[in-house]
Amino acid sequence: MKGPFKSHYGILFMSCLMFISIAGYSQSVTKVTDKNLINTLSSVETFNLEKGKDLCVGIFMITNGSGSANVPEADEVSNSYIISVSDFAEHPISKVFTVGPFYNPKITAKNDSGEKITFTLEHGGSTNRKRNSLIIDLDNIIYK
């Protein structure tokens, strides 16, 4: 024998190790029945994960439903954001906020200062776009 991996015993040993490591995980499928969670997840249009120096920010853009933009003679939708904020600790502190509604929103810039991340948000119709900031830290979001 020139080495354990060239023998039948080596292959059998590696196969047993792989089986033991795979058998240690048990997958399951569970049907979600919480109506609020189902409606929220079903209305997610986009998701972005932004990692800063000290914070991790998950941004879910959700649709508010047909006609929610209140545009005359149109069924256009408005959007809101669900924003999850956490730190990078071993046991992270996580908080979730909602902000909106906005018509035709788009996040156009990000500035990370460590303890805070500022996003530039443009929203509104094509002829009257507004620009605001979302200043995010672990404890709150300031819309300015």
What string of DSSP letters covers the chain? ---GGGSHHHHHHHHHHHHHHHHT----------HHHHHHHHTEEEEEEEE-SSEEEEEEEEE--TTTT--TT--PPPEEEEEEEEE-SSS--EEEEEEEEESS-EEEEEEE-SS-EEEEEEES-TTS-EEEEEEE-SS-EEE-
- Total domain count, the chain: 1
- Return the pLDDT at 58: 93
pLDDT tens-digit profile, the chain (144 residues): 455 444 555 555 565 556 655 556 677 889 989 998 888 888 999 999 999 899 999 999 999 877 666 676 677 888 999 999 999 888 889 999 999 999 999 999 999 998 899 999 999 988 899 999 999 999 999 999
11 in any annotated domain: no
30 in any annotated domain: no
15 in any annotated domain: no
20 in any annotated domain: no
Q: Could you tell me the pTM of the whole model?
A: 0.76
- Return the pLDDT at 84: 93
- Return the pLDDT at 66: 72
Task: State which residues form the domain around 120.
Answer: 35-143
- Return the pLDDT at 75: 74
